[in-house]
Amino acid sequence: MVDVARSEFILGGQKSGKSRRAEMLARQWLGAGTAHRAVLIATGQAWDDEMRERIARHQRDRAQRVPGMATVEEPLALAEALRQHSAPHTLVVVDCLTLWLTNLLMPMDGVSVETAEPARALCGAIEQATGPVVLVGNEIGLGVIPMGREVRAFVDALGGLNQAVAAACERVTLMAAGLPLRLKGHHVYE
């Protein structure tokens, strides 16, 4: 049996093992049947040279760790991309919700988007997905309260998004030091 829930939200700090867990679930899914497919919806944007190199490194590493997983880049229209790629035999990985929220609140063109409706649409797409969905996001609310107004607003918005996505998902896993801690759910996708 594959240890993939109908929907799983994996959250944790930077370099906690979130993406590796999502990739492991995709490998399991792909290995469980020849009809199975996996698609990664990447939300990151290359704002500068360092981010371009980071994205290229992630693409190379992911191709080695999960051969056969397709990648779709969608920095804004996440609910629509999830609806488009969800299918009974397709596992969709979204990596990551934190960058998606950053794209909405702090876009390169300077015109931010109100996040309540995109978040509701995303949760609806998760609940209506016809195949398994794995979402990755950062938990950044464990530290001190940030000093700047904009940063506090971002932390608040991400906390709200994380709570909404956690409520929409059957399974929630917190990653720390590469180790998963199950916060919610035990259902396994058949």
Question: Apex CA 36: angle with CA 101 and CA 79, to 5°?
Answer: 20
Indicate which residue of 58, 89, 186, 187 is catalytic.
58
| Annotation says 36 is catalytic | no
Strand partners, 58: none
How many CA within 13 A on the CB side of residue 3? 10
Dihedral angle at the C-alpha atoms of 54, 176, 187, 7, nearest 10 degrees? -30
Rounded CA-CA distance 20/16 in Å is 9
* Selection from 66, 51, 37, 43 nearest residue 135 by Cα: 43
Residues marked active site are found at 58
